[in-house]
């Protein structure tokens, strides 16, 4: 019996087996410090914006600013601001639509039919990163001037910025979609779909697109964030997008200006949350196989 | 429950396929060099060859996934050479896992039927039955990432079969699987293929697979069909040196040819058609046709003996330094050990001979 117990003792689970090893105390403190620093770096400006934008009128008796949401409420009292927000949201929506329409079929087609062109497409899509905004404006200003003169109200609409926005978001959107496409065997999936009777539109929209959903969402969120944050080109071309209006408003009513910026940031956070909520692991499922018998 | 999986007679499965003088170039590479094959209705042809020999190109051309530069493809008498893939009604199982990751096994199998406008209930019923056919009836709600490689390939087979294709194309579907699963699955594929009587083109570089599954096996080399024949004929009566060397194991033994026969290892045996017929030649002798007899005056010395279960393989060095491999039943190998002196002979089976 004693021998058996001894034998059992030999095959007992070692203490702590299967548990995650705890990092040394010094390392844990360092991690915590870094986390606090990073969070502080990110959160402190937001708290400062919140503090500033929620200041009410000065209470002369106490010489303090009572908390008030009047700056947020005032957002909708500035017609230019509302128009700017609406214009930016419309540009963002059109940009996402145009970018997806341009990139997804092109990239899928490139992967499936002309893989040797992949590098060329990549180069073209990344090119806007290397061109300063001012150069783009100088180059494209005559086109906008012509549109303003010959296309009437359409030519002068801020929505025409969509064309530039699509170009500006290409590098980021391309990368997001490309990463998704690389995580699945697009060529084989397309061959399989086509052999089953699908034409190219069905192959792309019923088979490929659902499997690169994560990349498409990422590309869309990046595009929206970039469009909502774009200032230089809109300002130089004299279009009243949200950033331009915020800038102008900042000179007249800094409280409302900061309130709008804060709302825009919160909107971006919500978008990021949406992407992390709806796109987790959507593109990696093909590569995993359960350890089960055939 | 009434099965909706139709027999060949009902669906027109088992159509004839003809490749006529197909050529395909990839730049300077002549991937298909005048490939012609007649496939009988319901036949399973295994195309075998080394990497880059053109076997997958031929399969993809039949499936419409690749074009041919010259020649034509007839299916059931109709010219399909320029018909797009999605109009050919061919079921393809690919080497890579090709299930749609966003769909369950059932939805994958039903997808082809959905494209054909079959209503949801009918297509789901057919999908379940086809999954049952490949032994995965209980897995229909699983997603590809929840299945093993073998299961995924079964679903891919079910998906290809569900559309009742004219021809089933199998592009090395077992090559990513482990040996045990591969053997099991190839037997199932063959069983189902015979049951449905569907004309099948099976591409593989694994000769055991090709010989085990094919009604006929076509050996390809550099875009050309070297030989196409039933497995036993291909093995026993190769028509070219490439086939003789590529299929199975062969010993290269010096001999002397004289018209229709060759003297090799002390015996005179018949030469196969296409062999070199005069002078000093190299005879290609199968290991199982080599006979070893223990004898003190023997001309060979055993170098190594390998036990392979029911078989045994011995490596023998001849006096002229030629190495000969002999294969025999394990029960016949008693007394064979490294260093043993043996007499080496051949059984009177026809051999192929070359001059190089």
- pLDDT value of residue A16: 52
Please indicate whether, in this complex, the C-beta atoms of A196 and B148 are within 8 angstroms of each other: no
Are the Cβ atoms of B100 and A184 closer than 8 angstroms? no
Q: A63 CB near a chain B CB, below 8 Å?
A: no
- C-alpha span between A81 and A77 (Å, rounded): 8
How far is the CA of B74 from the CAs of A58, A232, B36, B62, B340, in angstroms?
89, 62, 11, 9, 59
ipTM score for this prediction: 0.84
Q: How far apart are CA B81 and CA A5, in angstroms?
A: 76
Beta bridge partners of B292: B344
Check B63 against A195: CB less than 8 A apart.
yes
- What pLDDT, on a 0 to 100 scale, did the predictor assign at position A19? 58
Name the phi and psi angles at B2, rounded to 5: -85, 130
Q: Which residues of A are less than 8 Å from B101 in CB distance?
A: 184, 211, 285-286
Contacts of B211 (CB under 8 A, 6+ apart): B46, B217, B231, B234, B235, B247
Please name which of B51, B55, B47, B63 lies closest in space to residue B24, comparing C-alpha atoms.
B55
For residue A9, the model assigns a pLDDT of 42
Q: How many helices (H) and strands (E) does chain B have?
A: 9, 20
CA distances in angstroms from B137 to A48, A168, B323, listed in the order given: 61, 50, 53
For residue B352, what pLDDT is reported?
Answer: 93
Contact B147 A193 (CB under 8 A): no
Written as six digits, the tokens of A264 are: 């825009």
CA distance A205 to chain B (A): 12
pLDDT at A279 (0 to 100): 58
Contacts of B84 in chain A (CB under 8 A): 194
Q: What is the CA radius of gyration of chain A?
A: 27
Give me the sheet containing B290-294, strands edge to edge. Answer: B290-294, B341-346, B300-308, B311-318, B323-329
**pTM of the predicted model as reported, rounded to 2 decimal places:** 0.78
Tell me which chain A residues have a C-beta less than 8 angstroms from the C-beta of B144. Answer: 285-286
Q: In whole angstroms, what is the distance from residue B218 CA to residue B234 CA?
A: 9
Contact state of B111 with A195 under an 8 Å Cβ cutoff = no
Cα separation, A67 vs A143, in Å, equals: 48
Residue of B86, B100, B143 lying closest to A189 (CB–CB): B100
- Among A113, A183, A195, most B C-beta atoms within 10 A, so best to mutate, is A195
Burial degree of A169 (CB within 10 A; 0-12, 13-18, 19+): buried
A70 φ, ψ (degrees, to nearest 5): -65, -30
The whole-angstrom distance between A192's CA and the closest CA on chain B is 7
- Cβ–Cβ contact A193 with B under 8 A: yes
pLDDT of residue A14: 52
Identify the CA nearest to A193 among candidates B202, B121, B198, B102: B102
Across the interface, which of A188, A202, A210 has its CB nearest the CB of B115?
Answer: A202
Give the list of residues 6+ apart from residue B336 with CB closer than 8 angstroms, or none. Answer: B292, B294, B302, B305, B312, B314, B342
Cβ-nearest to A285 among B96, B101, B153:
B101
Give per-residue burial for B83-109: e unless 16+ CB within 10 Å, then b.
Answer: eebbebbbbbbbbbbbbbbbbbbbbbb
Give the one of A191, A292, A293 whose C-beta lies nearest to B94's C-beta. A191
Task: Find chain A residues with C-beta within 8 A of B163's C-beta.
Answer: 196-197
Q: pLDDT value at position A291?
A: 38
**How do the pLDDT tens digits run along chain A, 294 residues long?**
334 444 444 444 555 555 567 778 889 999 999 999 999 998 999 999 999 999 887 778 888 888 888 888 888 888 888 888 889 999 999 999 999 999 999 999 999 889 999 999 999 999 998 988 888 888 888 888 888 778 777 767 888 889 899 999 999 999 999 999 999 999 999 999 999 999 999 999 999 999 998 899 889 988 988 998 889 888 888 888 888 988 888 788 888 889 888 888 888 788 777 766 765 454 444 444 443 444
Nearest to A185 among B96, B102, B184 (CB): B96
- Closest CA in chain A for residue B164: A196
In B83-112, the residues whose Cβ lies within 8 Å of chain A are 84-92, 94, 96-102, 111-112
Per residue of chain B (356 residues), give pLDDT as tens.
445 555 444 444 589 999 999 999 999 999 999 999 999 999 999 999 999 999 999 999 999 999 999 999 999 999 999 999 999 999 999 998 899 999 999 999 999 999 999 999 999 999 999 999 888 888 899 999 999 999 999 999 999 999 999 999 999 999 888 888 888 899 999 999 999 999 999 999 999 999 999 999 999 999 999 999 999 999 999 999 899 999 989 999 999 998 889 999 989 999 999 888 888 999 999 999 999 998 888 889 999 999 998 999 999 999 888 899 999 998 888 888 999 999 999 999 999 999 87
| Burial of residue A58 (number of CB atoms within 10 Å: 0-12, 13-18, 19+) | exposed
Q: Where are the strands (E) in chain B, listed by range?
A: 17-26, 29-39, 44-48, 70-75, 78-79, 90-93, 167-171, 199-204, 216-221, 224-229, 251-258, 261-264, 267-270, 278-285, 290-294, 300-308, 311-318, 323-329, 341-346, 352-354
Residues in A touching B156 (Cβ below 8 Å): 192
Edge-to-edge strand order for the sheet containing B251-258? B267-270, B261-264, B251-258, B278-285, B352-354
The β-bridge relationship of strands B290-294 and B199-204 is unpaired
Distance of CA B110 to the CA centre of its chain: 29
Which residue of chain B has the CA closest to A294? B150
Count interface pairs A-B at CB distance under 8 A: 106
Which of B86, B153, B154 is opposite residue A194, by nearest beta carbon? B86
Ordered domains of chain A (ranges, CATH): 79-280 (1.10.3720.10)
User: Around B124, how many Cα atoms within 13 Å sit in the side-chain half-sphere?
Assistant: 7
Indicate which of A115, A196, A279, A285 best probes the interface with B, i.e. most B CBs within 10 Å of its own CB: A196
The alpha carbon of residue A95 is apart from the nearest alpha carbon of chain B, in Å, by 27
């Amino acid at each position: 019996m004693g021998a058996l117990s001894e034998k059992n003792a030999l095959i007992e689970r070692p203490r702590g087996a299967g548990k995650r090893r705890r990092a040394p105390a010094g390392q844990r403190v360092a991690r915590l410090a870094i986390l606090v620093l990073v969070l502080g770096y990110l959160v402190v400006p937001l708290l400062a914006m919140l503090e500033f934008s929620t200041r009410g009128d000065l209470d002369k008796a106490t010489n303090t600013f009572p908390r008030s949401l009047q700056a947020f409420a005032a957002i909708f009292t500035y017609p230019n601001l509302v128009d700017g927000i609406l214009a930016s949201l419309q540009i963002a929506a059109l940009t996402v639509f145009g970018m997806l329409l341009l990139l997804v079929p092109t990239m899928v087609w490139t992967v499936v039919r002309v893989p040797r062109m992949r590098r060329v497409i990549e180069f073209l899509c990344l090119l806007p990163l290397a061109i300063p905004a001012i150069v783009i404006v100088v180059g494209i200003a005559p086109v906008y001037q012509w549109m303003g003169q010959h296309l009437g109200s359409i030519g002068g609409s801020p929505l025409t910025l969509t064309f530039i926005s699509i170009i500006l978001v290409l590098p980021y959107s391309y990368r997001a979609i490309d990463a998704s496409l690389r995580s699945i065997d697009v060529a084989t999936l397309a061959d399989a779909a086509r052999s089953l009777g699908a034409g190219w539109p069905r192959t792309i929209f019923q088979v490929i697109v659902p499997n690169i959903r994560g990349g498409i969402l990422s590309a869309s969120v990046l595009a929206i964030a970039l469009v909502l944050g774009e200032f230089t080109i809109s300002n130089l071309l004299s279009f009243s997008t949200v950033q331009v209006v915020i800038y102008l408003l900042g000179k007249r009513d800094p409280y409302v200006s900061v309130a709008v910026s804060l709302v825009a940031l919160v909107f971006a956070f919500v978008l990021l949350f949406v992407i992390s909520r709806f796109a987790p692991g959507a593109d990696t499922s093909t590569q995993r196989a359960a350890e089960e018998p055939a | 429950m009434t099965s909706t999986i139709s027999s060949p007679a009902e669906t027109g499965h088992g159509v004839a396929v003809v490749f006529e003088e197909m050529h395909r170039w990839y730049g300077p590479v002549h991937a298909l060099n005048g490939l012609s094959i007649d496939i009988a209705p319901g036949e399973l042809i295994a195309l075998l060859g080394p990497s880059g020999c053109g076997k997958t190109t031929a399969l993809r051309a039949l499936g419409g996934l690749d074009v041919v530069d010259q020649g034509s493809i007839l299916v059931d008498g109709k010219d399909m050479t320029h018909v797009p893939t999605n109009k050919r009604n061919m079921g393809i199982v690919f080497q890579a896992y090709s299930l749609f990751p966003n769909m369950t096994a059932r939805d994958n199998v039903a997808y082809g039927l959905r494209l054909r406008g079959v209503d949801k209930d009918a297509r789901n019923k057919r999908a379940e039955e086809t999954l049952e056919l490949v032994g995965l009836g209980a897995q229909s709600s699983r997603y590809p990432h929840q299945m093993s490689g073998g299961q995924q390939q079964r679903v891919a087979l079910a998906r290809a079969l569900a559309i009742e294709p004219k021809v089933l194309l199998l592009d090395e579907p077992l090559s990513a699987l482990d040996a045990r699963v591969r053997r099991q699955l190839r037997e199932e594929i063959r069983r189902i293929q015979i049951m449905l009587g569907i004309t099948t083109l099976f591409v593989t570089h694994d000769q055991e697979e090709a010989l085990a599954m094919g009604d006929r096996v076509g050996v390809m080399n550099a875009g050309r069909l070297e030989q196409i024949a039933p497995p036993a004929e291909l093995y026993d009566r190769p028509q070219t040196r490439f086939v003789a060397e590529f299929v199975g194991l062969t010993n290269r033994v010096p001999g002397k040819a004289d018209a229709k026969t060759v003297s090799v290892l002390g015996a005179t045996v018949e030469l196969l058609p296409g062999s070199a017929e005069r002078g000093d030649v190299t005879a290609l002798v199968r290991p199982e046709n080599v006979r070893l007899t223990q004898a003190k005056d023997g001309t060979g010395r055993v170098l190594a003996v390998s036990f392979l279960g029911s078989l045994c393989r011995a490596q023998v060095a001849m006096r002229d330094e030629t190495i000969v491999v002999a294969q025999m039943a394990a029960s016949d190998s008693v007394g064979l050990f490294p260093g043993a002196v043996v007499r080496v002979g051949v059984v009177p089976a026809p051999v192929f001979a070359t001059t190089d």
